[in-house]
Structure 1
């Protein structure tokens, strides 16, 4: 996987790919676009890369404010809907008739919303430990708005301290991340390497601290259902047997998705790291190639 840069209208995204996306056309292999989760980065798929690139063209990018990608401008924050715009700007640059999207957590939610909104660009989607946009009942609207604005004010008051927060060694950063995710350090090495930068003997997280600001609003359940019910592409949901319990309630009817299949693998919310071989096997069955 080679490092590349994707140029969007407002900022650049860092990405990894096994193909040259600037050529007139890609290879005959299916094209997979990999979308990581909140405060992760493209390297969350690092254990899948060597398996996937045998059969597929693959591109994985860091969302803005994550990994090696640019931050948003100082007068902007990270609204969920804007990730769908970011993804569209990426996909229309690709030399492919349709793409397959594989998303984890936040990336899975974005994938579903994008497939509903732009079905002409999407062949199939694989959703790992993610499905519906986060929702609130209408009565939470005022409280949600207050929480979001208060969190922004808190960030403004603490931004200098947040930007100066550092660690003495890479091992310290790796251990901290492994503790938060409750995963072995061996599974997170690539993720943490992409998530930190060394300056003057100290290690700093790359991600934008504004990512931790609360949302100003969330969709109502009816809005999320309208999006899910408009997904035309076949959907494969992959969940961990120790992942979020709410995911296991999503069957073909409960999710309002027409063509929906769900499989369970060993692991928690990052089951694609814990059971990468099984996740690959399910992807390979779901997205056949011309050689099958």
Structure 2
């Protein structure tokens, strides 16, 4: 497993990779909000062991992990992630790719698969389905809450952690994942400063979005998916996803439930790797 970089027009995306691009479709992994490429490190290792001739690439999304931030006053609207993936695939990948996304990454992967089907040979989503949506009546309070959250982030003073272990314990508690499983993700997400440890993701990621699609609009992205499509849910993951799956997904999507929570791919990396390779084949 190696560190790589992809320079796009206004951001450099870092990645963890195994294998080299070839005539076979690459597999691109997109992590969840405030996570990073190490979210998939154990899945990558399991995939590489089973398919050593394949190329697997787990990205740090913009503002996350080791990837660069997009600058002050930039609040990471959802559609710009799709633009970043478009630049990545069209510039650096000559073949169709299989997209694997967890949580936020699953939403990005779904929208990309629907919008640019000529680039995608398969889609595997983990604990995430369609873009976050809400009724139009929420538009005004959402904008208000978003602006207020920006001011809260600007004025917040970070305290950091006394040690990496303290950060691991806190993140494990918040994410309901055993500390050893979440540790690689936490270690990649920290940076030392003045004797303490701080999250290195862009703090502007923590503001609320200023806009969400109405449900009817969000569902069109799922209806437009034409490639082989699988959804992996954790038995103790987000309950609303199971209900959404019955409403949004077509009979052409395979839904698998595995033991685990929202980060079930950390808890069941071998099973998730096996599922991904089945979609490759």
TM-score normalized by structure 2? 0.94
Closer/same/farther in 2, CA of residues 93 and 257 from structure 1, 3 Å limit: farther
On the 8 A contact 2:18/2:44 being kept in 1, the answer is: no
- Figure out how many residues of one structure are paired with residues of the other and give that number: 278
- The match for 1:221 is 215
CA contact (8 A) 1:31 1:96 kept: no
Counterpart in 2 of 1:94? 92
Show the counterpart of 2:48: 53
What CA distance in whole angstroms lies between the structure 2 residues aligned with 1:3 and 1:52? 17
* Aligned residue in 1 for 2:145: 147
Gaps spanning 5+ residues in structure 2: where?
none
The runs of at least 4 aligned residues of structure 1 exceeding 6 Å deviation read none
Deviation string, structure 1 residues 62-118 (Cα, Å, up to 9, x no partner): 111111111111121111111111111111123332000000000000000001110
Partner of 1:269: 262
Q: Aligned pair 1:249/2:251, yes or no? A: no
User: 8 Å contact 1:231–1:258 — kept in the other structure?
Assistant: no
**Would the aligned equivalents of 2:162 and 2:196 in 1 still touch at CA under 8 Å?**
yes
Alignment gaps of 5+ in structure 1: 21-25
Give the Å deviation of 1:200: 3.9
Deviation of 1:128 (Å): 0.3
- The alpha-carbon deviation at position 209 of structure 1 amounts to 1.2
Task: Check whether the contact 1:32–1:58 (CA below 8 A) recurs between aligned residues.
Answer: yes
Q: What secondary structure, in the 3-state scheme, does the structure 1 residue paired with 2:58 have? A: strand
Over aligned residue pairs, what C-alpha RMSD do you find?
A: 1.5
- Distance change in 2, residues 1:139/1:250 (3 Å): closer
Residue of structure 2 aligned with 1:208, choices 202, 215, 231: 202
Distance 1:204 1:247 in 2: 32
After superposition, the C-alpha distances for 1:241-260 in whole angstroms (9 at most, x for unaligned) are: 11111222355x62244621
- Report if aligned partners of 1:234, 1:260 keep a CA contact under 8 Å in 2: yes
Scaled by the length of structure 1, the TM-score of the pair is 0.91
Quote the Cα distance in structure 2 between the aligned partners of 1:78 and 1:250. 25
1:71 alignment partner in structure 2 = 69
Partners of 1:280 and 1:93 in 2: how far apart?
27
Question: Contact 2:74–2:204 (CA<8 Å) still a contact in 1?
Answer: no
The Cα offsets for residues 199-251 of structure 1, whole Å up to 9 and x where unpaired, read as: 34321111111111011010001111111111111210000111111222355
Of 167-176 and 89-98, the range deviating more from structure 2: 89-98
Partner Cα separation in structure 2 for residue 119 and residue 111 of structure 1: 11
User: Is contact 1:229–1:258 with CA below 8 Å preserved after alignment?
Assistant: no
